[in-house]
Structure 1
Amino acid sequence: MRKINSLISKAALALLLMASLVFTADFNTAAYAEDPELINLPGSFSGSMGFVTDYRFRGVTQTDEEMAIQGSFDWAHEKGYYFGVWGSNVDFGSQGNGNTEFDIYAGVAREYYGITFDVGGIWYTYPGATKNLALDYVELMFGMSHDFSLISTGVSAYYSPQFTSASGEAIYISFDAEVPLANRLALTGHVGHQWVAKEDAITRPDTVDWSIGASYATHGFDLSITYIDTDLTTTECAEGCDGEAVFGISRSF
């Protein structure tokens, strides 16, 4: 039954994402041609859709090491304001956890002296999950990034007053880097550290995650392969936290 629910969730999510992307494409092309006044609307809309062989969040699988269909729908203003929704199927291996995740986010990103500052908030919600599991949570985010031409780097901090599973305050710090190479190829790297006040509530200790990968853009698609791992032992996390190569393909509109 759980596998059937997971398949239904994936199908529903895929239909929702395709509908949003069709809306985005129509809005940005045909709608403008039919009604020039729409061009005066502030901001612009965009979307993306793709899949990965395993949805890893901060190094830990969210789909029981199975494939995930993912997508987003975004609005951005020229002054740096943005709003969006990102979605994916999930599978936490037990009944009552829900089969879908939606992240609703908003913020403002502006550049000063070559450094982009990003301040925002994210609401992680899991429709269909049992309420007493308290999976939903909110994070506040602050990030800084800079493009050095040969390498782009960024550092981000996330704070939650009540992390998932009612695990109390939580902080996540991450550092990311990207090195562009010739022919639309890029190398990526990431390291992050998750602190949680009540480790017992999420059944694992504070975690360091890291990844290294490569991405390639071709014919409107973005292809990626990323090796992801954590410092958790098999005693601290029985499965879904060890090293794994994750393949992904996505398309933006």
Structure 2
Amino acid sequence: MNKKKYVPVLALLALSLTPLASQAEVTANVAASSNYYWRGITQSDDGAAVSGGIDYASDTGFYAGTWLSNIDFGDAASTSYEMDLYAGFAGSIDDIGYDVGYIYYAYPDAEGDIGFGEIYGSVSWQWLSAGASYLVNAENDATDEEDMLYLELNASFTILKDTELALHFGHSSGDTVEEWYGEDTSYIDYGVSVSKSGFTFGLLQTDLDADDDLKAYVSYSLDFEL
């Protein structure tokens, strides 16, 4: 079984930790991508994906939301879509941004119980951010190990006019990684993307022996207030 996602956004590899707005708000997002990757691994069997979500953010820094996408795990699991539920608290202290929370990856139409949850935390400064996610609970058919840690480092720069260059480096480790991918108990994924006006073109790669080809994707995303 394979599984996904930074705070659920298909098109972006960089983690954004800007301070929340001064008033509570509800926003929505939709996106279409040529592939859906999570930590360097396709979640759509190398096919296209359409996703969307709704988010609530209060002036206290609390936020909560949900996000859905079509998926295809092939023979690993019989399920057609993923629904993420998450909540956390984000803000800033002087120039340092922070974000802590919990996310649950659910697969409502799966034949088995394959959902799981992670706690996550991250800090940011100007164009640089770093984060960690750790598996804290899993359904019966998700994994026997419940041992997975993901560390990531992201950078985002503005180049030319209104164009963003994003760099990403991630490291997955733990017995669950070995159970899911059948190789060593750790692997790295890394990538680069360029985004402008909602369009993104990206390249990514992992060091997994069975999935080490350079991959490319294109996507378009749209955010709006409700």
TM-score interval w.r.t. the shorter chain?
Answer: 0.7 to 0.9
1:61 to 42, 46, 61: 42
Partner secondary structure for residue 129 of structure 1: coil
Q: 1:143 aligns with which of 122, 131, 139?
A: 122
Counterpart code for 2:191: S
Please tell me the root mean square deviation across aligned C-alpha atoms, in Å.
1.6
Name the one with the larger helix percent. 1
Displacement of 1:79: 1.7
Q: From the superposition, tell whether residues 141 and 199 of structure 1 become closer, same or farther in structure 2 (CA, over 3 Å).
A: closer
Q: Once the two structures are aligned, what percentage of the paired residues are identical?
A: 27
Is residue 2:147 matched to residue 1:169? yes
Show structure 1 runs of 4+ deviating over 2 A.
Answer: 94-97, 161-167, 198-201
Q: TM-score, normalised by structure 2?
A: 0.82
- The structure having more radius of gyration, on CA atoms, is 1
The answer to whether residue 223 in structure 2 is matched with residue 252 in structure 1 is yes
Distance 1:198 1:49 in 2: 31
Q: Report the Cα offset of residue 113 of structure 1.
A: 1.8
1:157 to 120, 125, 132: 132
Q: How does 1:75-114 map to 2 (within 5 A)?
A: 75-94=56-75, 96-114=77-95
After superposition, the C-alpha distances for 1:147-204 in whole angstroms (9 at most, x for unaligned) are 1xxxx11000001134543332111000111001232101000000011224442133
Q: CA deviation at 1:50?
A: 1.2
Match of 2:15 in 1: none
Q: Please give the alpha-carbon distance, in whole angstroms, between the structure 2 residues aligned to 1:199 and 1:225.
A: 28
Asked if 2 retains the 8 angstrom alpha-carbon contact of 1:162 and 1:170, the reply is no
- Cα contact 2:33–2:217 (8 A) shared by 1: yes
Q: Which runs of 5+ in 2 are unaligned?
A: 1-22
Stretches of structure 1 that go unaligned for 5 or more consecutive residues are: 1-41
Question: After the TM superposition, which residues 115-134 of structure 1 pair with which residues of structure 2 at under 5 Å, given as runs?
Answer: 115-131=96-112, 134=113
Q: Give the match's secondary structure for 1:97.
A: coil
Higher relative contact order, structure no. (Cα contacts within 8 Å, ≥ 6 residues apart): 2
Q: Please show how residues 151-230 of structure 1 align to structure 2 within 5 Å.
A: 152-162=127-137, 164-204=142-182, 205=184, 206-217=186-197, 222-230=198-206
More strand by share: 2
CA shift in 2, pair 1:232/1:85, >3 Å: same
1:96–1:160 distance in 2 versus 1, CA, 3 Å: closer
Question: Separation in 1 of the partners of 2:176 and 2:220?
Answer: 36
CA contact (8 A) 1:46 1:75 kept: yes
SS of residue paired to 1:165: coil
**TM-score normalised by L of structure 1:** 0.74
Change (3 A) 1:96 1:181: closer
Q: Which residue in the other structure is 2:3 paired with?
A: none
Give the secondary structure class of the aligned counterpart of 1:233.
coil
Which secondary structure state, in structure 2, belongs to the residue aligned with residue 78 of structure 1?
coil
Contact 1:96 1:128 in 2 (8 A): no
